[in-house]
Structure 1
């Protein structure tokens, strides 16, 4: 088998999420967060994806379906938040919620100076968005 050329991984640490339906998650992230898909391996005979590579806000995000028979069961996401720093948090947050995200913390001015909010996506992943105050 000839190796497949992989696109470069962008940004710092790259989250690799195992979700209940990687193809649907990729579609949601495109609609809600403006994700660009750069790589998708073919699905297995059960329609599961081992690898989907997205770029969101200049950084890579990897997705896969659960493969319990190979030691990768589906688990409820916990103890982390994926954060996006954006230029217009109100518009970006509204877009994510309209696409199906559920508000956890509405966008508001925070004590550290940012406008900030949190939402949970349809796959259980908690996201935050922030926008630093404009400097004059």
Structure 2
């Protein structure tokens, strides 16, 4: 697909319990994501890969495939995805309305951003920030 990024880094989230399609709907509602592409696994149920655009950035995700893990005892490491946006409060409100839980309320921070954090229904942490308006 010509619209895919060709450099940089793209987060790729693994969604547990076959909730990949639910995650797509959440990210569309919470962060105004645009679905670019989806591919379903051979089982016809699990989402093998999906590409989203959020705020001019890329996010990819899939349902969990335990049979592909080399070591079942290894759990994914924690991560926070950061969104630098035009209006933190608007983005936070939309995320909460879609089902995110506030883990750090929005506030003006010493480094010059209005900033807060939420956890999505799939266990991923998101930080949202924008320059403090003066």
* TM-score, reference length from structure 1: 0.85
8 Å Cα contact 1:11-1:59 kept in structure 2? no
Say which is worse superposed, 126-135 or 115-124, in terms of deviation: 126-135
- Tell me the residue number matched to 2:14: 18
- Runs (4+) of structure 1 exceeding 4 A deviation are 75-78
Structure ranking higher in strand proportion = 2
Note the residue ranges of structure 2 that are not aligned, 5 or more in a row: none
CA contact (8 A) 2:108 2:132 kept: no
Cα 1:63–1:56 change in 2 (3 A) is same
1 CA distance for matches of 2:121 and 2:7? 24
Aligned length: 130
Shift of 1:35: 0.3
User: RMSD in angstroms over aligned alpha carbons?
Assistant: 2.1
Once the two structures are TM-superposed, the CA of residue 44 in structure 1 deviates from its matched residue by: 3.1
Matched, 1:30 2:36: no
Checking the alignment, whether the CA contact within 8 Å between 1:77 and 1:125 is kept in structure 2 is no
